[in-house]
Amino acid sequence: MDRMNHGTVKRQLKYCVGIGASAGGVEALQELFRNMPLDTGASFIVVQHLSPDSVSMMDKILQKSVKMPVRLAEENMELRPNEIYLNIPGMMLEVESGRLHLSPVQDRVQRYAPINQMLNSLASDKNIHTIAVILSGSGSDGTIGIGSVKENGGTIIVQKPLEAQYASMPQSAISTGLVDLTETVCRIGLAIRDYLKNPNNQYLHYDDGVENQELAGYYNQIIDAISKYSDIDFSAYKPNTIYRRIERRIAIHKFTCIEDYMDHLLASPEEKGLLCSDLLVGV
């Protein structure tokens, strides 16, 4: 983008959460903001795949679920803390110098990736720390964008594919190995709040491995299997690292549940080796 900086804008915003959603995203967004604390201090930008000829009612739908102000994006609109901004049909949304900018959709056939475009623009704003959130959706939009966010020091959170109505977008994001946290939608808001209270933490919390004993059992079996295969005690590794790498392998294979992945891993020496390699590279 080549636009003038708005030097008169009073910059109060330090954090921005860029959220991408497609198919199945309405329900995910309602659940996300229903459980989002009101005092994070961040601005929230939501980009969905919208038909260019439709009339968006998303602001009214979301406003029923949340107490934060919900606004449809307008050209040159200033971002403010604790407010939600939505993209509108037929327009691409970008951020520059803490303001929203709109441009007409040029080509929906060859490369329509409004989530990537929004995240790329956020990542380039050096005055804002970006948290990218990828929710339910088909396709892979957002995957390139999270790469830009991560490259510029941002944080990546993805809805658990097993929970998403459409798992393609979450799975594609996870397969990059760049994701900091996979979480259920209802708990993403708390993770964002806790992170912003102490952004110097290198790891976001991954609590399900502790609280869900059945899920923890599957993880422990996987860790035990690869430890025996490699003669390396992976139980001593950081749990967050192990969980993220297992989630990545599940996404790569497009399994719909951890049980299926565990069965595959137990029967495949090759998969054990690949997971071990992922862990050794990532630690």
Mean pLDDT of 36-44: 93
Give the residue numbers annotated as catalytic, written as ranges: 22, 49, 141
Tokens matching residue 101? 């900018």
Tokens matching residue 15? 């954090």
Residue-wise pLDDT tens digits, 90-106: 999 999 999 999 999 88
Per-domain residue ranges for the chain? 15-197, 199-280
pLDDT of residue 213: 65
pTM: 0.74
Residue 281 pLDDT greater than 80, yes or no: no
Please, what is the angle between helix 239-253 and helix 213-230, to 10°? 90
Q: Who's near 92: CB < 8 A, 6+ residues apart?
A: 102, 103, 104, 105, 114, 117, 118
3-state secondary structure of 119: helix
Strand partners, 101: 94
Comparing CA positions, the residue from 258, 174, 160 lying closest to residue 266 is 258
pLDDT of residue 107: 66
pLDDT of residue 29: 96
Write down the CATH number for the domain with range 15-197. 3.40.50.180
Residue-wise pLDDT tens digits, 186-233: 999 988 988 887 765 444 544 444 445 667 788 889 999 999 999 999
From CA 168, how far away is CA 92, in angstroms rounded?
Answer: 22
Residue-wise pLDDT tens digits, 149-195: 999 989 899 999 989 999 999 999 988 888 888 889 999 998 898 88
Q: Which residues of 245-281 are buried (b: 16+ CB within 10 A; e: fewer)?
A: bbbbbbbbeebeebeebbeebeeeeebbebbbebbee
From CA 60, how far away is CA 47, in angstroms rounded?
Answer: 16
Tokens matching residue 251? 């996404």
